[in-house]
């Protein structure tokens, strides 16, 4: 009986971890998409320009937080902290972040962009008609497929994606703060 309770807690913990990891990205991406589309439409008066601008803005908003989290986490990690040069630590943190992004989001992005999202948007519009509700249904269905692939990639690639291969950046900073490591002011990394 206790084994099933432990497994349930582990499952619940993982779901909470995924929500904490991906929900802020989705919110920032959505806000950026709406703002980018609106600004482009107001400037150009073109729906096509607004759609392209919204798509680009969504990607920038979404992945900006991925980059910030990754670089900060890697700068605070033991793996990068051993590098003697501040510039070397920054280069390593950026390279590790890009590698992690490709591992976590590369497969999901390729399938989403080339197959899943266009197919589900067309299918939802064909099923419900060209209506905002149809686009929302298609978007949410495509998001579900995207996150299913991204989560599998994340779980399989934790050692490559996460700083020191074990935890997200926030717990790594807490662990470091508990051990008494001082932040590196020359890099602007704040340890809370």
In this structure, the number of other CB atoms found within 10 A of the CB of residue 115 comes to 12
pLDDT, residue 96, reads: 95
Rounded Cα gap, residues 154 and 69, in angstroms: 15
What are the structure tokens assigned to 34, written together?
A: 């709406």
Q: Per residue of the chain (192 residues), what is the pLDDT tens digit? A: 445 555 566 888 999 999 999 999 999 998 998 898 889 889 998 888 888 888 889 899 999 999 999 999 999 999 899 999 999 999 999 999 999 999 999 999 999 988 998 888 888 888 888 777 888 888 889 999 999 999 999 999 998 898 876 655 444 444 444 444 444 434 444 333
pLDDT, residue 164, reads: 75
pLDDT, residue 24, reads: 96
Rounded Cα gap, residues 67 and 73, in angstroms: 10
Among positive and negative, which fits the CA dihedral 47, 53, 56, 58?
A: negative
CB 57 within 8 A of CB 141: no
CB 76 within 8 A of CB 93: no
Rounded Cα gap, residues 11 and 3, in angstroms: 12
Hey, is 1 helix, strand or coil?
coil
Rounded Cα gap, residues 116 and 138, in angstroms: 10
Burial of 74 (0-12, 13-18, 19+ CB in 10 A): buried
pLDDT, residue 9, reads: 63
């Amino acid at each position: 009986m206790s084994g099933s309770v432990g497994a349930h807690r582990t499952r619940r913990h993982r779901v909470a971890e995924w929500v904490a990891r991906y929900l802020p990205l989705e919110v920032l991406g959505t806000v950026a998409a709406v703002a980018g589309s609106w600004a482009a439409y107001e400037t150009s008066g073109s729906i096509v320009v607004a759609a392209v601008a919204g798509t680009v803005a969504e990607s920038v908003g979404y992945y900006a937080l991925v980059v910030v989290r990754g670089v900060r986490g890697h700068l605070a990690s033991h793996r990068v902290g051993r590098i003697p040069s501040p510039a070397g630590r920054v280069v390593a943190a950026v390279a590790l972040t890009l590698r992690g992004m490709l591992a976590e989001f590369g497969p999901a992005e390729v399938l989403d962009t080339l197959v899943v999202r266009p197919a589900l948007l067309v299918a939802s519009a064909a099923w419900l008609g060209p209506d905002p509700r149809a686009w929302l249904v298609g978007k949410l269905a495509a998001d579900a497929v995207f996150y299913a692939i991204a989560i599998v990639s994340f779980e399989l690639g934790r050692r490559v994606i996460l700083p020191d291969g074990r935890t997200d950046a926030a717990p790594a900073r807490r662990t470091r703060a508990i051990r008494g490591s001082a932040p590196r002011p020359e890099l602007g990394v704040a340890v809370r």
